[in-house]
Structure 1
Amino acid sequence: MTHAMPHVLVLGASGLIGRFITDDLRARGFAATGLARRFSPSQASAGDLALPVMAMDVTALAQLMRTREIDLVVNCLGILQDGPGSDTGAVHRDFVARLLQAIRDSGRDIRFVHVSIPGSAADDQTAFSRTKREAEQLIIASAVRYAILRPGFVIAPSAYGGSAMLRALAALPVDLPAAESATPFQPVAVTDVAATVAWLAEHDAAAGPGVVWDLMAPHPAALGDVVAQFRHAFGTTQIPRFALPAFLLDLGARLGDGVSWLGWSPPMRSTAIAELRRGVRGDPAPWMAATGIAPTTLAQAVGDRGASIQDKWFARLFLIKALVITSLALFWIASGFIAVVLSLPATKAILVSHDFPSVWVAPLAIGTSVMDMTIGVLIAFRRSCAFGLIAGMLVSLGYMVGCALLTPDLWLEPLGALVKTGPAIVLMLVALLTLDNR
C-alpha cells in the first residue's frame, strides 16, 4: 500500500531560502504550495499563492491549511530590521504565535518547520535575533510538533542580501577589516537546508515531537574563508586589495539605515553588521546523525568550477548599482535646485537671450527646475524609482530635442552640458535594467 506524499506549505516562498525549498520539494515529487505577499514574474508558478500573508488572521490561516490538506508548514519569513512597514516583532514573534494557533485550530496533525538563526540567547544583541529567539520559545512551549532549523551562512546559486554582499567583496579590490575577517562563519549550502525539509516531510515519525538542529558545515570557518572561496571562483585572488577601516563599515551601516526609510533594503545596515560581528557558529552533529545528511563543503557550495560571466557581472555591479541610483537622484535634485534657487537670474537670462516671451520666462524656468527635483525625489524612493528613471529619460530626450529646435547654439556650449545628457540617459537605462532584487 502506497502513501500519498505529504503536502507542504512554504511561507516566504519568494525569498532566497523559501524559493529554493519550494522548487526542490516539487522536483522530489512532493506537493508544495508556496505562499508569499508577491512573486516576481520569473518566480510565478501555478502552485504558488500571492496573498497578504502578514495580514492573515488565525481563522484565515487555519482555513488555508484545511482546504489545502497541509501536512507540513515551513516558515521562511523574516526581515532584517525595523523600518517603514517592517516590524521584526510582528514578523518573527507575533505571526508565529498566530501560525501556531492556526495549526492547532486546523484540526490536522501538522508538523511546523521553522527556519531560525544559530547562536544562543546570551549572544542576541539585535531586535532581529531577539525576536527570532522569542519565536523559538513560543514554538517549544506549544503543543505543536516542530522542527527548528538554525542554518549557518546560507550559500545558494542565487544571491540576495548578505550573500550578494560577500560576492561583491570577492569581486572588488576591497577587503574586510582583520577582526571581521576572522569572525567564525560556518556556512551551509541551501541544498542541505532543502534536503532537511524533504527529510522531515518523508520521515515525520522519525523526527519525534520536536527537534532543534544547527544546519552548517562541521568544520570551523571564518568569514574571510568564505570570501576567499568566492575569490577563487571569480579568479580574483591576485587582485591587490585594501582593507576597509572598521569605521567605514559602521558609516555604511548608518547610511543603509537611512536609505531603508526610503523603501530600500540594503544588505549593509546596523543589524547586518552587528550579526556579522557576532559570527555564525553551532553544532551540526545532532542534525547529521538524525538525517544522515553529509553537509556540502564550502568549496562545493560555492562551486568547484570558475564563476560564469553573469556571476562576475552581478558581483561587480551589486554595490555600483547603489552608487548609480544615488548619483542620479542627487544629480536631478541638485540640477533643479541650482537652476531655481542659486542661478534663477542666469536661467532667465538664457531664455530671454533666445527670444522667449517674457511672460513665459519665469514659469518655464521654475517649472522645469521643479520637474527636475521631482524626478530626483522619485528616483530616491524605491517604490517610485522605476517611474522616476523612465521620466528622467523622457525629460532628458525632451530637453535634447527642444534645444535642437529652439536653441541649437546651446549644443555648442563650451562645457558640453547637452552633449553629456546622452550618457546620463544611458546611465538611467542601466539603473532601470538592474533595479530588480529577485
Structure 2
Amino acid sequence: MMPSTTPRVLVLGASGLIGRFVTDDLRRRGLTAIGIARALSASQRVSSLDIELPIMALDAPALAALMRAHEIDVVVNCLGVLQDGPGSDTNAVHHQFVARLLDAIAACGRSVRLIQISIPGTADEDHTAFATTKREAERLIAASGIPHAILRPGFVIAPSAYGGSAMVRALAAFPIDLPAKDAATPFQPVAVADIAATIAWLALRPIDEAATRAISWDLMQPEPVTLGDVIGAFRRSFGTENWPRATMPAVLINLGAVAGDLCSRLGWMPPMRTTAIAELRRGVRGDPAPWLTATGLAPTRLNDAVGAHGASIQDKWFARLFLIKALIIASLVLFWIASGSIALFISFPATTAILTTRGWPESFAIPFAAITSMMDISVGLLVAFRKTAVFGLAAGIFVSLGYLLGCAVLTPELWLEPLGALVKTGPAIVLMLVGLLMMDNR
C-alpha cells in the first residue's frame, strides 16, 4: 500500500551534481523536496524550499529538529567530498555526519527512511580515505535498524558537469588519449535521471514494506563499458571522434594529480587529484540486477545518456575551456608574481630609473616603485587562493587600468616602447576578465 499523503523529502547536498538534479526532479513529480546546502549559487535558489544551512555544523538534536520542523518522511544524503584538504574532511563528511544523522532520525519522533548515495565496489577494493569512509557509513547505516536504501551509482552522466564528469568531457574535446590500460578500465555509467527516478520510487514506497526496508543497490547499466567507451561516446557527441590523437603518458597523469593536490591546498577543487586517479583506475563496476528487478526501471544506455544528437555549442565551449581555466589562473598568478618580483628584487634600479629620468625625485620614485611592485605580487597571491581569486582578478584589472591611465598622463612615451609593454597590458586585462567570468563552479 502506497503512502496516503505525498512524502516530504529532505535532500542534503542540494547544490551538487546529483543533489540538485534529484531535488528538481522530485518537485517535477509533485513531491515536496526541501533542498539543503552549505551554499547555493544564485541560479540554484529557485524555490523557498532551497535553504542554505551550515549542515556539517549541526549536531544530532539540530538535525532532528530540522526533520520535525519540515515533517520529513525521507532523507536523501548526497553529501560527499573527494579528498582531505582545507575545508574538506572525508571522515567528518562521510562517517561522523552519517552517525549524527542516524541518531537524529532515531530521535526525531517520525518514521523516516534514509537514502544514502554511496559508491560502487567492495571493501577489499577500498584504498583511499574517500572510499573507506564511504564504506564505514554504509556499515553504520546497515547496523542502525533504520529503514534505509544504500544506492551505489556508477559513473554519473548528467546534463550538467562537475569534477570527474567535467574531466571526461574535456578529454573528449581534446586530441589526446589515455594510456591503453586506463582506457580499458571498467566504467559502468548511469544517467542521473535514473538515480532520481529510483529515489522517487523509493520515496513512494510504504516505510514498513519488507522488500524495501533495508536494501543496497548498484545503479548502472548492465552492459560492460570501459572508460574509453564513455570518452568515445562524448567524442561522437562533440564531433571529435575522428581527430588524430596523441596518447598521454601515465607519468604525466600522475604529475597532474600531484599538481591537483597542491592546488587543493590553496582552496581549489581540481578534478585531477590523487584520489580521483586512484578511484578511476580502480574502475566502476557492480551488479544492477537487484535494482532493475525490484523497480522495473529500464536503465538509460550510454549513448542515450550522453545524447543521441550532437552536443550544443555551450557543451563544446565548456569542454574546451574546462582545462584552459586552470591554465589561465596559473599563468595570471605567475605573471603578477613574476613581474612584481623582477621589478622589486632583480631590476629595482632600472625600475626607479624609469621614473627619476623623467624628473621624479628619488625620495618619491623609490617608495613608489617598491609599493607598485609589492602590489603586483599581492595581486598574484590573491589570485592563487580560491577564496580571494575573484577579488584578486578584479584588483588586477583595476591595477592594470590604473597603470595604463597613469602612464598615459605621466609617461606617454612608454606607449611607443619597442617591446610594447603597455600595449600588451590590454590583452592581459581581457585574460583576467575571462578568468573572472569562469569562476563559477555550480
TM tier, smaller: over 0.9
Q: Are the counterparts in 1 of residues 3 and 206 from structure 2 also a CA contact under 8 Å?
A: no
Q: 2: distance between equivalents of 1:144 and 1:20? A: 25
Q: 2: distance between equivalents of 1:208 and 1:230? A: 35
1:387 Cα offset (Å): 0.4
Give the secondary structure class of the aligned counterpart of 1:112: strand
TM alignment of 1:111-122, pairs within 5 A: 111-122=113-124
Give the secondary structure class of the aligned counterpart of 1:240: coil
Residue equivalent to 1:26: 27
Matching residue within 172, 176, 194 for 2:196: 194
Which deviations, in whole Å up to 9, do the C-alpha atoms of 1:175-219 show, x marking residues without a partner? 111110000000000000000000001123444320000000000
Residue equivalent to 1:310: 314
Give the number of aligned pairs.
Answer: 438
Q: 2: distance between equivalents of 1:412 and 1:239? A: 44
Q: 2: distance between equivalents of 1:204 and 1:119? A: 29
Unmatched 5+ residue regions in structure 1? none
Asked whether 1:142 is paired with 2:124, we answer: no
Asked whether 1:221 is paired with 2:228, we answer: no
1:3 Cα offset (Å): 2.0
1:49 Cα offset (Å): 1.2
TM alignment of 1:202-213, pairs within 5 A: 202-205=204-207, 206=209, 207-213=211-217
Give the secondary structure class of the aligned counterpart of 1:211: strand
Q: 2: distance between equivalents of 1:88 and 1:67? A: 29
Which deviations, in whole Å up to 9, do the C-alpha atoms of 1:409-437 show, x marking residues without a partner? 11111110000000000000000001101
Q: 2: distance between equivalents of 1:407 and 1:202? A: 73
Give the secondary structure class of the aligned counterpart of 2:423: coil
Residue equivalent to 2:373: 369
Q: 1: distance between equivalents of 2:275 and 2:426? A: 40
1:385 Cα offset (Å): 0.4
Which deviations, in whole Å up to 9, do the C-alpha atoms of 1:82-117 show, x marking residues without a partner? 001211000000000000000000011100000000
Give the secondary structure class of the aligned counterpart of 1:231: helix
Give the secondary structure class of the aligned counterpart of 1:185: coil
Let me know the Cα RMSD of the aligned residues: 0.9
Unmatched 5+ residue regions in structure 2? none
Asked whether 1:37 is paired with 2:30, we answer: no
Residue equivalent to 2:59: 57
TM-score (norm 1): 0.99
Q: 2: distance between equivalents of 1:49 and 1:425? A: 37
Residue equivalent to 2:4: 3
Which deviations, in whole Å up to 9, do the C-alpha atoms of 1:381-415 show, x marking residues without a partner? 00100100011001101101100110011111111
Which deviations, in whole Å up to 9, do the C-alpha atoms of 1:220-244 show, x marking residues without a partner? 1000000000000000011111010
167 and 2 in structure 1: CA distance in 2 versus 1, 3 angstrom threshold? closer
Residue equivalent to 1:161: 163
Q: 2: distance between equivalents of 1:393 and 1:2? A: 58
Residue equivalent to 1:280: 284
Asked whether 1:174 is paired with 2:176, we answer: yes
Q: Are the counterparts in 1 of residues 3 and 205 from structure 2 also a CA contact under 8 Å?
A: no
1:2 Cα offset (Å): 8.5
Matching residue within 341, 344, 364 for 1:340: 344
Give the secondary structure class of the aligned counterpart of 1:371: helix
Give the secondary structure class of the aligned counterpart of 2:386: coil
